[in-house]
Amino acid sequence: MRSFYIYFFILIGGSVSSLVLAGSPIISAGNMHSIALKVDGSVVAWGDNAQGQLGNGTNNDSSIPVAVSGLSNVIGISAGYNHNLAVKSDGTVVGWGVSQIVLGSETSTQNILKPVKIEGLTSIIAVSAGNSHSMALKSDGTVVSWGFNSLGELGNGTTGTVPKTPALVAGLSGVIAVSAGNKYSIALKSDGTVIIWGHNRFGQLGNGTTKNSLSPTAVPRLTGIIAISAGKSHSMALKSDGTVVTWGRHNGGQYGVDDFPKFSPGIVPGLTGVKAISAFRDHSMVQKHDGAVLSWGGEGHFKEVPTTITGLSEIAAVSSGGFHSIVLKADGTVLAWGSNSDGQLGDGTNQQRLDNPALVVGDLNLGKSTTSPVITPIFAISNDRVFAYAEANFPALFPGTAANNQYQQYTYRFYPKSKNYLGIDTSGVIYILGSYTQNKLTTIGSVVNYKNAILAWEAIK
């Protein structure tokens, strides 16, 4: 239900060229299936296929990865409960699985067994597949949504109506990430604030009430956020200082402490140094800067409080599923654990592995990830100070002095020796792209809110 990419455009020979390549490895766990993006821009899937989640033209489950039919030039993916989305390098989106969710139409009832283009979507840079609706982030920072709308999850001020095509969520701008949950939606803005709407029976909107919201509203007193993730009825957010806040339903340890439901965000006790978060259903997971992976919540076999998963090292990414978890290692291999009734662990069996991560079989060709540099947090309130600090303090990462270049909303510098870009857009969001991030554009902060933003250099540790 996660995954977001942000394009970084430069002018080459009079044309716009995207520096976000198809070589960015991504994993995404769904309810009882998993998908992964390969370095060649194709996608593989494994696990439950009752609604066509594997996208290979059949309804047969698979305990090993299989190719999703006809996909190429993919730069981002998201696995939902029973459908999946993929963003292509041309800014279009394809989907497969439960048809009414994929297409956003009440007229289609057949499951979609192979990826189809979702009409009306252009300039898309990120997608999020939820339970029964979908979200997409456009390059201009606006958001579109489609699918079912029983409790206001589409954010259009109504309920019940299933739009025939994706529609803009009114009043949203400056968004850098989206996450679709179970009948509710979250958006992260470049200033570190969080906007949320939809179902709120369990306080998952974080506004201190249990009243649904049909339109986007800010989560009160929540600032300094650099990542978001929506579960079934609970929400997670990562702060720039490496702590994690959670709120919403608590029927299985979702927010990491034995307590009653939280209708407002609260810090997960004892959890620091976090660099990535992931929520799905009643399950939460984090990756720490020191390489540790912790998991909690869930139904039956997960923990009430954050618990370290043993036997993991050199982890590059994490993704929590409905009843299982998957992690991407720096060498491009994938490990999985949890329920395996439909082959969602991808190890060639249906054997459940509660505390023993198994290697997903086959040559996934997800590519190798390099260890990101450690950058000391700084404060800055101008673009020039960001560039100057980077050049002065990290000569290996940004060697020499590169000319300041501009293209439309972006200011960037290219450092030929290390083949890295450092960029800032007009909203103050800071990006890094190059050899240290394996050509994966990484948002590392914002100079709009200097107290929050440059601390987010820590996000790429």
| 228: CATH | 2.130.10.30
Task: Decide if 441 contacts 20 (C-beta within 8 A).
Answer: yes
> How far, in Å, CA of 158 to CA of 156, rounded?
6
Residue 1 lies in a domain: no
Mark whether 318 and 407 lie in a shared domain: no
pLDDT at residue 400 in the model: 65
In a domain, 39, yes or no: yes
As a whole number of angstroms, the distance between CA 284 and CA 250 comes to 12
Tokens of 350: 């249906």
What local confidence, expressed as pLDDT, does residue 2 receive? 42
For 340, list phi and psi in degrees, rounded to 5.
-140, 30
Residue 390 is predicted with a pLDDT of 66
Q: Poorest-confidence range of 2-16, 183-197, 412-426?
A: 2-16
Distances (CA, A) of 430 to 297, 375, 380, 446: 33, 14, 11, 5
Tens-place pLDDT, residues 27-51: 999 999 999 988 778 999 999 999 9
pLDDT above 60: residue 238: yes
Domain annotation covers residue 366: no
Task: Report d(CA 422, CA 401) in Å as an integer.
Answer: 12
Same domain? For 70 and 156 the reply is: yes
Mean pLDDT, the chain, as a whole number?
A: 78
Q: What is the pLDDT of residues 406-450, one digit of tens each?
A: 655 567 777 776 677 777 766 566 777 776 666 666 666 555 433
Q: Which of 324, 359, 394 is the last residue of a domain?
A: 359
Q: Are residues 219 and 257 part of one domain?
A: yes
Q: Two tokens at 388?
A: 């100057």
Pairing of strands 62-67, 43-47: antiparallel
Mean pLDDT of 114-131: 91
Alpha-carbon distance of 408 to 124, in angstroms, equals 18
Same-domain status, 284 and 429 = no
Name the residue range of residue 436's domain. Answer: 383-460
Q: Which residue has the tokens 């306080």?
A: 203
Assigned domain for 209 exists: yes
Q: Which of 343, 359, 375 is the last residue of a domain?
A: 359
Which helix or strand (DSSP H or E) is residue 392 part of? Answer: helix 383-393
Q: 256 and 397: one domain?
A: no
453 shares a domain with 322: no
Asked if 317 and 351 sit in the same domain, the reply is: yes
What is the number of domains present in the chain? 2
Residues of the chain with pLDDT > 90: what percent? 40
Q: Looking at residue 374, what is its pLDDT?
A: 32
Do the Cβ atoms of 272 and 243 come closer than 8 Å?
yes
The three-state secondary structure class of 393 is: helix
State the DSSP H helix or E strand holding residue 432, giving kind and residue range, or none if neither.
Answer: strand 429-434
Q: Is the same domain home to 20 and 111?
A: yes
CA distance 123 to 140: 8
The pLDDT score that the predictor gives to residue 408 is 54
Query: Can you read off the two tokens belonging to residue 235?
Result: 């929400």
Helix (H, G, I), strand (E, B) or coil at 144: strand
CA distance 77 to 289: 24
Choice between 400 and 128, residue whose per-residue pLDDT is larger: 128
Domain boundary among 327, 359, 391: 359
Burial of 173 (0-12, 13-18, 19+ CB in 10 A): exposed
- Say if residues 141 and 175 touch (Cβ distance below 8 Å): yes
Asked whether the predicted pLDDT for residue 370 surpasses 60, the reply is: no
Q: Parallel, antiparallel, or unpaired: how do β-strands 405-407 and 353-359 relate?
A: unpaired
* Amino acid (one-letter) located at 19: L
Is 437 in a helix, a strand, or coil? helix
For 123, counting Cβ atoms within 10 Å of its Cβ (0-12 exposed, 13-18 middle, 19+ buried), the class is middle
Q: Report if residue 43 sits inside a domain.
A: yes
Whether residues 246 and 390 share a domain: the answer is no
Whether residue 391 sits in one domain with residue 344: no
Count of helix runs (H) and strand runs (E) in the chain = 3, 35
Domain annotation covers residue 447: yes
Q: Give backbone dihedrals phi and psi of 166, rounded to 5 degrees, phi first.
A: -60, 145
One-letter amino acid at 92 equals T
Please check whether residues 57 and 143 belong to one and the same domain.
yes
Nearest-10 Cα torsion for 316, 179, 278, 78: -50
Is 377 within a domain?
no
Residue 2 included in any domain: no
CA nearest 389: which of 433, 461, 459, 454?
454
Residues 196 and 159 in one domain: yes
- State which amino acid sits at residue 208: G
pLDDT at 167 over 50: yes
